[in-house]
Structure 1
Amino acid sequence: MKKLTTKIHLILFTALLAGFTSCSDDDDAGMITEESETIADFVASEEDYSSLAEALDRTGLTATLDAEGTYTVFAPNNAAFEAYLDGTAVADVPVEDLTQILLNHVLAVEARASSLATGYVNNLATYADTDANLSMYINVDSDVVTINGGSELEGGANVTATDFEFSNGIVHTVDAVITLPTVATFAVADPTFTQLETALTADASFSFVNTLTSAGTFTVFAPTNDAFADLLAELEISGFGDLDTSVLAAALSLHVVNGANVRAEDLTTGTVTTLGGAIEVDASNATLTDANGRVSTIVVTDVQASNGVVHAIDTVLLPGL
């Protein structure tokens, strides 16, 4: 399983770093090129980032972004902070919470706009009291860059200005404060999980979305769109409406482990109890097996949210039939 995780992360970061290399000599990519000015200097000097500057000062992160390093900051402007605070003030947000929210906007790599690619990256916010960094879903579509689903979704943002370049990294402006993602955030933001989102909301009686946005701790094995397409073909039905609601609810419950944030390195071979019953895990082969003997392979690991972790799988698990 560690090999699987390493391979996936290597692919993502190799692609990202390849983009950095290809654009490192561009003369017109940066809107501002101040080799002696730091990100913190810029934020402090720009009136439209005064709320961000106040937040950085309050959390002690001004020093971080004033020091040597390599960062990318998705910087919310004052309008973004005003909408987020909704009549309150930066001083009203608990320092610990504010720190994590700000770190949720910072990558530990330098990423110009031309090197951003659709997929997951890790930011500097962390899960609970661990060193597991939270994930961020970036979607680059027709030159529009969105983060965690864009500003149309709660907690997401659109990138509105790019490539302010400084001695210790890059700043891109965003139109909303990017709040800490839940596991439900990624089900909605990532088009790989469109069918999962549809299934989770297929019936008014379902409470999956409320559950997966709550403050609990969850491990979610998330079937991809292809996994759901294969299931519909296997069952010879055209859509979720043709499936008994109780069966769909039971199947979805099999994909959620409550009370544990089980990252790939922590998976062990044996029986795992989900909200829908027991499944078998083979950690060596990165597979899950349901009560019917159907085997699902984990294809992406460790998409880390603030209330749990998501692993993508290629086959939908089913309760005993």
Structure 2
Amino acid sequence: MKTNTLKQIALAAFLCVGLAACSSDDNNTTTDNSIAGIASRTSNLSTLVSALNKTGLTATLSGSGTFTVFAPTNDAFNAFLTANGFANLDAVPVPVLKNILLNHVIGTEIPSSALPAATYASTLSPINTTANAPTISMFVQKSGNVVTINGGPANKGTTVATADIDATNGVIHVVNDVIAIPTLVNHVVANPDFDTLQAVVTSTSGAFGDQSAVLSALNGITAAAPATLFAPNNAAFTAATTGSGFAVGATAAQVTKVLQYHVTAAGNVRSNQLTNNQSVPMITSPVQNTTVVLGSGTVDIQDSASNLARVFQADIQCSNGVIHGVQRVLQPQL
């Protein structure tokens, strides 16, 4: 009798230990609250999860680091596939898909509350496969609670549908469109400070004449043969086209020459590649040069009339070149 009682006590103790161990294992199970982990549990981000798996980016967005991800919904991916003639996600070449996904990722955490009215950020999408290649720029605007990327859907960008999904390695902002990798023209259109430049380049009549050939040339610039654009802001055009501005009364042909005098076919020339007194050939016919003037923390572009145009926004990186915003319209020999 005593032996049976001892056996029962021992069995009960064994079961208690086993149950406690199981309970401990259950308590040690942790939820993956990384960006990739949250996406995997979000039904309308399942295509994004498949895309991350296909491109090998799941490990990146589930690991250490700090990221901001603009996460396209399933409907956004479906629209992207249809618009680009892909039957399904597997039909998208992996390098293409990877660059598109990286164009939605910034290497720092940016909650919507930290966004200014307008800013540029660098995505993780490189312009080519060379080591340390520059990465594509993203233009982010905030008006009230509305966050717009690259000028919105009409400019192949998007707006944020759901902001600030917090993750252990950053933040997710859900978007309703796949963000196209922007071209030179896309980035000019996206920034309201370049609205007058856009108006001049897209003019087909009126004071600026027909500039459709210039627009066609800009749209024809490719990643294989990139260009650098010195983009005057709105105030610069106001100064050039009013009062005693040099472009007052310019003919359509002269406006064309002015526009061409802001583009160099010398390649994707970023600010750290500019040197003092460097002569930069522009695409005017015949070719006219500008001159780089470097100061203490400043970059100016000197035109044919020896005027200096200060660079106020450098290195807006596009798929087919780079933009440097300048505060003066460059004056060629007309």
Q: In terms of Rg, which structure is larger?
A: 2
Residue identity in the other structure for 1:309: V
Could you say which residue in structure 1 is the equivalent of 2:214?
208
Are 2:294 and 1:298 equivalent residues in the alignment?
no
In structure 2, relative to structure 1, the CA distance for the partners of 1:209 and 1:53 (3 Å cut) is farther
- Which among 77, 83, 94 is matched to residue 79 of structure 2? 83
Q: Which of 232, 244, 247 lines up with 2:251 in the alignment?
A: 244
Residues 256 and 59 (structure 1), Cα distance of their counterparts in 2 relative to 1, 3 Å cut: same
Letter of the 1:192 partner, please give it: D
Aligned pairs for 1:43-82 (under 5 A) are: 43-82=39-78
Assess if the C-alpha contact under 8 Å between 2:150 and 2:186 holds in 1: yes
What residue number does 1:279 align with? 290
Higher mean C-alpha deviation, range 213-222 or range 178-187: 213-222
Which residue of structure 1 lines up, in the alignment, with residue 301 of structure 2?
A: 288
* Amino acid across the alignment from 1:272: V
Q: Please state if 1:147 is matched with 2:149.
A: yes
Cα 1:35–1:294, aligned 2, differ >3 Å: closer, same or farther? Answer: farther
**Runs (4+) off by over 4 Å:** 234-237
Equivalent pair of 1:38/1:66 in contact (CA under 8 Å): yes
Q: TM-score scaled to structure 2, two decimals?
A: 0.81
Cα deviation, residue 280, structure 1: 1.6
Structure 1 unaligned regions, length at least 5: 1-33
Quote the residue 1:120 is aligned against.
120
Using the alignment, how far apart are the partners of 2:98 and 2:307 within structure 1? Answer: 44
Do the aligned partners of 2:268 and 2:321 also contact (CA within 8 Å) in 1? yes
User: Which 5+ residue runs of structure 2 have no aligned equivalent?
Assistant: 1-29, 205-209
Aligned identity (percent) is 34
Superposed CA offset, 1:82-103 (max 9, x none): 1111052111111111111100
Give 3-state SS (helix, strand or coil) of 2:161's partner: strand
Residue 207 of structure 1 deviates from its aligned partner by 2.8
Q: State the match for 2:164 in structure 1.
A: 163
Q: Secondary structure at the match of 2:212?
A: coil
Q: How far apart are the structure 1 equivalents of 2:161 and 2:135?
A: 25
- Residue 233 of structure 1, CA deviation: 2.0
The answer (yes or no) to whether the contact 1:35–1:167 under 8 Å persists in 2 is no
Q: How many residues align?
A: 285
For 1:257, the equivalent position in structure 2 comes to: 264
Q: Give, in angstroms, the shift of residue 293 of structure 1.
A: 2.0
CA contact 1:150–1:158 (8 Å) conserved in 2 = yes
Letter in 1 for 2:197: L
Report the alpha carbon displacement of residue 107 of structure 1 after superposing the two structures with TM. Answer: 0.8
Contact 1:182–1:212 at 8 Å: present in 2 too? no
**Which amino acid counterpart does residue 290 of structure 1 have in structure 2?**
D
- Maintained 8 Å contact 2:201/2:211: no
Q: Secondary structure at the match of 1:162?
A: strand
Q: Distance in 2 between matches of 1:259 and 1:93?
A: 32
SS of residue paired to 2:291: strand
Q: What's the TM-score once normalised by structure 1's chain length?
A: 0.84
Structure 1 window deviating more from structure 2 (210-219 vs 95-104): it is: 210-219
Q: Indicate how the Cα distance of structure 1 residues 98 and 142 shifts in structure 2: closer, same or farther if over 3 A, else same.
A: same
Q: Using the alignment, how far apart are the partners of 1:266 and 1:299 within structure 2?
A: 17
Partners of 1:308 and 1:35 lie apart in 2 by 43
